[in-house]
Amino acid sequence: MTSKIYDCLVVGGGPAGLTAAATLVRLRRSAVVFDSKAYRNAGAHAMHMVPGFDHADPKDFRKIAREQLLSRYKTIEFQEGNVVSAAQVELGDDTGAAFELRDENGRTWRGKKVILATGSIDVMPEDIEGYKENWPHHIYQCPFCDGLEDSGHSVGILGFPSPMYQTYGFAGLRFDDRVIIFMNGDSPSDEPTFGALRTLEALGARVEKRRVRRIIDNGPGPANGISVELEGGEKVRCGMMFHHPRTVNRANNLFDQLGIERAPVNEAMEIGGEVALKDQFNQTSVKGIFAAGDTTTPYKSVAQAISSGNIAAVGACMTLAMEEGAKALAAKS
Ligand SMILES: Cc1cc2nc3c(=O)[nH]c(=O)nc-3n(C[C@H](O)[C@H](O)[C@H](O)COP(=O)(O)OP(=O)(O)OC[C@H]3O[C@@H](n4cnc5c(N)ncnc54)[C@H](O)[C@@H]3O)c2cc1C
């Protein structure tokens, strides 16, 4: 066990964790960032909507952020590898309640506060042959992230389970006028979803009702794109495809161990289950543990992760300062 008690243990070295670190160091708070190097956008080679890093490789963003932190600030450390367990501990000295994390090498780390910036996993649907082979270079989960560069090539939308899929249609029609909605044998079960589908049809989208048998990778780039094989054997070519796989928290095991409350799951919409936030500083249901990034919201983006990483770290800094102030006052009286 390291004898050091850090001000904050940050789990996650993506945009949320890196921003939390960049915030903690500004008040000279000691922190260690744990990074198992399992990033949600690992398969993406260009990220968008991040000013200063538009179309940059996410790897470069992380590398530069880390280098800047290590070269400018003395209170930050990075540790590679998985945090495998987490617990609340009572240190019994002046520190009081704290947290203990164990890494995959059996080392334990103690901190007064914790920021969980552990991200999400996209769960690849098992029932559609060829899906995971086309993710994420032909199948895109977010039309603001990917799609524009493939403009002028036909757009597929896989399924239409909720009115939220209207966004894919609206965006797809900005990229090309050939938008095909592959219903995959289903039909909308409620009026809002029907309405969304009708609106897209009115705008020129085509609805294909047959079941999808498999998705074939025709080669790199939208000019090759994919072929969607339908029941009966017909193949429909698309330059790109939009679909939202279900996401789950990458560190649900740690959340369970710590007893952290999650948001309700909406099975029909395939959303929910993220960490429930309890105050404006992203504190979780466990006092002293803050959360940031994809694991806290269904709206998952780098800008959101940066913003919430900052908020969580400000919360951790403020809480530490308030506790130190209260102790000083108590000592005086
Ligand atoms: C294919 C694809 C393309 C995308 N493109 C864009 C885009 O263009 N623009 C955009 O804004 N967004 C994009 N996104 C979304 C974006 O990638 C995420 O919103 C963003 O990465 C979230 O940041 P994060 O820090 O919350 O999580 P992540 O970046 O996923 O980082 C999570 C961190 O937690 C660590 N971790 C988790 N559990 C543990 C543990 N137990 N121990 C140690 N470390 C742990 C991981 O190793 C990692 O360091 C894309 C997503 C995908 C899937």
Q: Over the stretch 169-197, which tens digit does the pLDDT of each residue have?
A: 999 999 999 999 999 988 888 999 999 99
Q: Output the pLDDT for position 2.
A: 60
pLDDT of residue 306 exceeding 90, the answer is yes
320, 113 Cβ separation under 8 angstroms? yes
Pocket test for ligand 1, best of 39, 60, 150 (most atoms within 8 A of CB): 39
Query: Is the C-beta atom of 250 inside 6 A of ligand 1?
Result: yes
For the cut 80, the answer to whether the pLDDT of residue 329 exceeds it is yes
Q: Which CATH superfamily is domain 125-242 in?
A: FAD/NAD(P)-binding domain (3.50.50.60)
Cα separations (Å) of 124 from 127, 135, 248, 297, 319? Answer: 9, 9, 11, 19, 39
Dihedrals phi, psi of 138, to nearest 5 degrees = -120, -30
pLDDT of 33 > 90? The answer is yes
- Tell me the whole-structure pTM to 2 decimals: 0.96
Q: 10, 18, 32, 47: which to mutate for ligand 1, most atoms within 8 A of CB? A: 47
- Peptide bond preceding 136 in cis form (omega within 30 of 0): yes
The average pLDDT across 98-112 equals 96
With cut-offs at 50, 70 and 90, classify the pLDDT of residue 1.
low
The string of pLDDT tens digits covering residues 246-282 is: 999 999 999 999 999 999 988 777 778 999 999 999 9
Average pLDDT, the chain: 95
What is the per-residue pLDDT across 48-71, written as a single tens digit (0 to 9) for each? Answer: 999 999 999 999 999 999 999 999
Does the CB atom of residue 305 touch ligand 1 within 6 A? yes
What pLDDT does 97 receive?
82
* 5-121+246-332 carries CATH number 3.55.10.10: no
Span 138-172, pLDDT tens digits? 999 999 999 999 999 999 999 999 999 999 999 99
User: Cα 317 to the chain's mean position, in Å?
Assistant: 24
Backbone angles phi, psi at 229, to 5 degrees: -90, 125
Cβ–ligand 1 distance for 300 under 6 Å, the answer yes
Residue ranges, CATH 3.50.50.60, the chain: 5-121+246-332, 125-242
